[in-house]
Every structure is written in structure tokens, then in C-alpha cells.
Amino acid sequence: MKDFIAELEAARRSVGTGALPAGEARVLTIERTYPADVEDVWDAVTDPERIPRWFLPVTGEFRVGGTYQVEGNAGGEIRACDAPTLLRLTWVMGPPTPEDSSVVELRLAPAPDGGTTLTLEHTAVVPPEMWDVYGPGAVGVGWDGALLGLALHLDGAGPLDPEEVLASPELRAFNVASSEAWGAALAEADGLGADEVAARVAATTAFYVPADTPDAR
């Protein structure tokens, strides 16, 4: 099995601000390189037959202007698809919003030393009461987990048992470390005090790693 923490540390994270039709937004960016060519990574993130092998089942109309739904997760509209380098879509939990409030963009490019650099940018209007409690980790930990799944898939792992993975000490430790990594990105971006950052990290960690499940570290 891959070293989950090493996979986490292979990514670079940043937090910023932006704008969407629905209002001022937060921007979370993750960038990492996979040892696979651009065409293979593109196929893995766009082929509805491959996506469930590393993420979740997805249904919909897979074309620009079409809609999609990830099972038990977000849905939205495909806004741009420029194979094999750019995918942009709205990403909404629950009913669609009248104005764009959450947009995800994936960019792929050949890495200088081989492989493919994937950049995931999630721009969303986040309610202050959620941001002030969790910060970027509420969403960021989930994206880290998705990109871990992609790494395992590209490395040749077969379909994973979601319940087994979620219960594993390795994933719990991964989620703790991911929460802390997003806390570090928040501190660098917003200049928050150590106590404020620590409170957000603690809330995020408690959500992803409940107290009755050891973090295996």
C-alpha cells in the first residue's frame, strides 16, 4: 500500500479569495504531480467508467452544458471541457443555486521531470459561520482524500472497499495530517493567530476523525 502521508506531502496547498456571481468567494488550490501521462490522468478524471474506481459513481450528460451528479455528493453543470488539459464545472451540494456559488476547475499539464501536474481549484461562496468554525479544511480534507484515491488508482490499485478504507488507521492519520496542512495554508494566507488556526483545525479534525476513532499517529 502507498504511504498515505507521503502522498499528502506531495501536494501543495494554498488559500485565497475570489469572486463568483453569487458573491465574494474563497479559493482553495491543490497542486501535485502524478507519475502518469496527461492522457491517462485526463481519462481517469473524466471517464464515468473509471471515476468510481477512485472516487464515487457519477451519472449525467457528459458534455459542455450537461449536468452530472456524484452519488451521495455534489452535482452541477459542466461549463468547460478542453481535453486533455481543462475541466470546469459547478459543484453544488443539494439543489442548484440561481447564481454560481461553487465552481471547481481541474487543469492538467506535463510536469518538467515527467508525469502530469494536476491543479485543482475550488472557488466557493462560503457562509461566514462555516468558514469561521472550520476554515478551508472542511472542503480541503475531502479533496485531499479524492486526490489520494486518484494516486492509488493511477498506481494500479484495484477497486477499493470504501468502508474498509474509511475505517483504516492509515486514512484516519491521513485526515488528521490533511486538516493540519490546511491549517498551515490558512495561517499563511490570512495571517490568523495561532489559536484561531488551531481552533479551526481542531473542528475539522473532529469532523473527519471523531474522538472515538484513534488517529493512528
Taking the chain (217 residues) in runs of 10, the rounded mean pLDDT of each run is 91 98 97 98 98 95 97 97 98 85 98 98 97 98 97 85 78 97 95 94 96 57
What pLDDT shows up at residue 58?
98
- CATH number, domain of 70, equals 3.30.530.20
Residue 87's domain comprises: 4-159
What is the domain count for the chain? Answer: 1
What pLDDT shows up at residue 162?
65
pLDDT digits (tens, 9 = 90+) for 137-182: 999 999 999 999 999 999 997 766 766 777 789 999 999 999 999 9
Q: Is residue 215 part of a domain?
A: no
Report CA-CA distances (Å) from 30 to 8, 27, 139, 194, 214.
10, 10, 12, 23, 27
Collect all residues with Cβ–Cβ distance below 8 Å to 131 and sequence separation of at least 6.
26
Q: Is residue 102 part of a domain?
A: yes
pLDDT digits (tens, 9 = 90+) for 96-108: 777 889 999 999 9
What pLDDT shows up at residue 216?
45
Q: Is residue 120 part of a domain?
A: yes
| Cβ-based neighbour number of residue 172 at 10 Å | 21
Report how far residue 81's alpha carbon sits from residue 189's, in angstroms, rounded to the nearest whole number: 30
Q: Is residue 205 part of a domain?
A: no
C-alpha cell at 123: 472557488
Q: Is residue 185 part of a domain?
A: no
Q: Is residue 199 part of a domain?
A: no
Report how far residue 102's alpha carbon sits from residue 19's, in angstroms, rounded to the nearest whole number: 10
What pLDDT shows up at residue 214?
54
What pLDDT shows up at residue 98?
74
